Amino acid sequence: MTKSRHLGRGMVALAAVAIVAAACGSGSTSSAPASKPTLAFIAQMQNPSQAFSWKMYQKNAAKYGFNVINLDNKGDVQTQTAAINNAVAQKVAAIAINPVDEAGYVPATKAAMAGGVVVCLSMVPAAASALDGSTCSVSVDDILGGKTAAEAIIKAFPNGATGVEIGGQAGHVAANNRHEGFTQGIAGKNITVLDYKNPSAWDTAQAQAIAEDMITKYGNKIQFIFVHWDNGATGVINALKAVNQDWANKVMIIGVDGNKTGFEQVLSWPNYISIAQNAETITSKVMEESMLWIKKDPAAVKTNIIPFDIITKDTIKNFTAPEW
């Protein structure tokens, strides 16, 4: 092989290196932009509020600089732990979680946090027993929600009343707090709760079965029913309609969530109030705060409370019913 051929091949090789270097940005003072961090939303996707929350995470993720993924905890603590570990294995920067119960998630989230993952509770505050299990939380104040229900009943029955309370999913932070707030709100007042029971899930059929049992037991002594979620109140309404007596149609019902069903029931039931939480506002705040914590911004806040809206026949025209 001649010397000229060696030089020719050398020039070709140098040219190829130059092309590769140019394609990689070699020698440039700027580098390619980093990919967006990923936020994993972990919740029970059979719950309509969480299915709608997932839509809102997807809708607004780009605004807050995230890619988002969803992992279903299926209402089970062990499945939830597996989902948290799965998210960590996928190297997410943040986890937004609506947990199954007060503290079952804590060992897994504490391990995630130790590895640098930001964990923010979505729609629920941290329970007193789980304050070290999350970086931040965004929620309504469910204790205040329970107190608001109590205030409405006291206002409607200035001479006192008897009724029942149908709680939310047994062990869920929101259900516990709504019950606590309601109990505080009626303390010392002429309001008597004849019975209180929780279903095992946020399930309309279970709420209806509880209401049917209470109606059989207490009959027209029931003047009000505080039920912890609007979809559960649908079952309560079904149970009352089946009584087919005038007193049943006059029962005051108070639900929590302010979802589409709640709005419809405010209009259709003679005396219905929905205490509403705005899922889009909450999920947006979760992403905003999560990004602040990722950036170690001093503006990051651990506990964030979003105000309730009170939906009645008089106020409903001021609000737009959500999709869920």
pTM reported for the whole predicted model: 0.73
User: Do both 269 and 184 map to the same domain?
Assistant: yes
User: Do both 151 and 132 map to the same domain?
Assistant: no
Whether 187 is covered by a domain: the verdict is yes
User: Do both 150 and 135 map to the same domain?
Assistant: no
* Average pLDDT estimate for 188-209: 97
From residue 258, how far is each of 9, 230, 264, 277 by CA, in Å?
74, 7, 10, 6
Whether 244 is covered by a domain: the verdict is yes
In the three-class reduction of DSSP (H, G, I as helix; E, B as strand; rest coil), residue 309 is classed as: strand
pLDDT band per the 50, 70, 90 thresholds, residue 225: very high
Q: Please, what is the Cα angle at 118 between 113 and 123, to 5 degrees?
A: 115
Whether 105 is covered by a domain: the verdict is yes
φ/ψ of residue 188, rounded to 5: 80, 0
Residues with Cβ < 8 Å from 314, sequence gap 6 or more?
none
> Rounded to an integer, what distance in angstroms lies between the CA atom of residue 169 and that of residue 117?
28
Q: What is the DSSP letter of 90?
A: T
What pLDDT shows up at residue 27?
Answer: 35
User: Do both 135 and 147 map to the same domain?
Assistant: no
Its domain, for residue 110, covers 38-140+279-306
* 74: CATH: 3.40.50.2300
What pLDDT shows up at residue 34?
Answer: 57
User: Do both 150 and 263 map to the same domain?
Assistant: yes
Whether 291 is covered by a domain: the verdict is yes
Whether 313 is covered by a domain: the verdict is no
The pair of structure tokens assigned to 290 is 């999560």
Whether 7 is covered by a domain: the verdict is no
- Number of domains the chain is built from: 2
Whether 12 is covered by a domain: the verdict is no
User: Do both 163 and 242 map to the same domain?
Assistant: yes
Percent of the chain with pLDDT over 90: 85
User: Do both 89 and 136 map to the same domain?
Assistant: yes
Q: What is the DSSP letter of 18?
A: H
pLDDT band per the 50, 70, 90 thresholds, residue 321: confident
